Amino acid sequence: MERILADVASTDLDAMERPNLARATNYLVGGGANFAADRAAINALLAMDPAVGTRFRASRAFVGRAVRTALDRGVDQFLELGSGIPSPGGLHRLVGPAGARVVYVDVDPVAVAHTCELLADQKEVSRTAAVRADLREADRVLDEARETGLLDLDRPVAIVCNAVLQWVADSDADDLAASLERYRAALPPGSLLVLSVPHPDLLDGTEIVEVPPVIESTMAPLRLRSRAELTRILGRWDVLPPGVVDVVDWPLASGTEPAGIYAALAATHR
């Protein structure tokens, strides 16, 4: 943890005048690690799509259900990719009571530094770590996760990737597929992938949209993934029933309004 804080010490954590995706998301879910520019960005987004908070919470609720499934299957190690700043109901809080360990991974030093700060005074700190890495560099992510001493990669691990793939800059479905395949091949049987990503139906079939100007300066272009792309991205991962569905319908059809976000729970091996 100290090493990570030193790593990011040179980062201008208090660049308050520019919105930051991780801090803005933190504001969206009611966290306290955000500044006026982040709140303005989210308010602009809410003006465009008033349901964005509801959608995001539906996605995190899916993660909660999928993670409980992982715990029920005996998985007690979690690797969250593109973790941002853990929200009040963050992963370490969900799985901590079960004694599980969590390694958070984000490419953004601001997200990692806030995560370290937030964890420092929480009781789960001895079972939780944060690593700065690009999720596409699977081998590096796995090495760094191993180095934390928290994850034993010879035992099943659950990867959690919630609302992230639409923000990965300069990547197409094939890049993401190659990365996820690397994780799949490296992890032992019994490992899982909890994945959510907004789908284009959210925007009447538009696959790529620009985020509002107020936030586009710091956020990568939003890239929604169609079902066909998502199927390509999941590649050889074995998608468990009920398959790829809207987050509100995982694992059972809820009869409520779709959130516009695909959910999948997949396993490394058939």
Judged by the rule CB under 6 A, the positions of this chain that interact with ligand SAM are 21-22, 25, 60, 81-84, 87, 106-108, 111, 134-136, 162-164, 167-168
Using the minimum distance from each CB to ligand SAM, give the nearer residue, 60 or 101: 60
User: Least Å distance between CB 153 and ligand SAM?
Assistant: 19
- CA dihedral sign, ordered 161, 135, 178, 163: positive
User: Least Å distance between CB 30 and ligand SAM?
Assistant: 11
User: Least Å distance between CB 196 and ligand SAM?
Assistant: 8
Q: From the CB of residue 126, how many other CB atoms can be counted at a distance below 10 Å?
A: 11
Q: In one letter, which amino acid is 30?
A: G
Using the minimum distance from each CB to ligand SAM, give the nearer residue, 171 or 268: 171
Residue located via tokens 């107020």: 214
Q: Which of 268, 238, 215 minimizes the C-alpha distance to 41?
A: 215
Using the minimum distance from each CB to ligand SAM, give the nearer residue, 140 or 232: 140
**227's tokens:** 């079902």
Q: Is 177 helix (H, G, I), strand (E, B) or coil?
A: helix
**131's tokens:** 């690593």
Query: Contact, 69 vs 51, CB < 8 A?
Result: no
User: Least Å distance between CB 117 and ligand SAM?
Assistant: 15
Using the minimum distance from each CB to ligand SAM, give the nearer residue, 167 or 183: 167
Q: How far is CA 211 from CA 44, 120, 170, 219, 220, in A?
A: 10, 33, 16, 8, 9
User: Least Å distance between CB 176 and ligand SAM?
Assistant: 9
Residue located via tokens 């770590």: 129
**82's tokens:** 């593109």
Using the minimum distance from each CB to ligand SAM, give the nearer residue, 21 or 215: 21
User: Least Å distance between CB 81 and ligand SAM?
Assistant: 6
Using the minimum distance from each CB to ligand SAM, give the nearer residue, 155 or 232: 232
DSSP 8-state symbol, 76: -
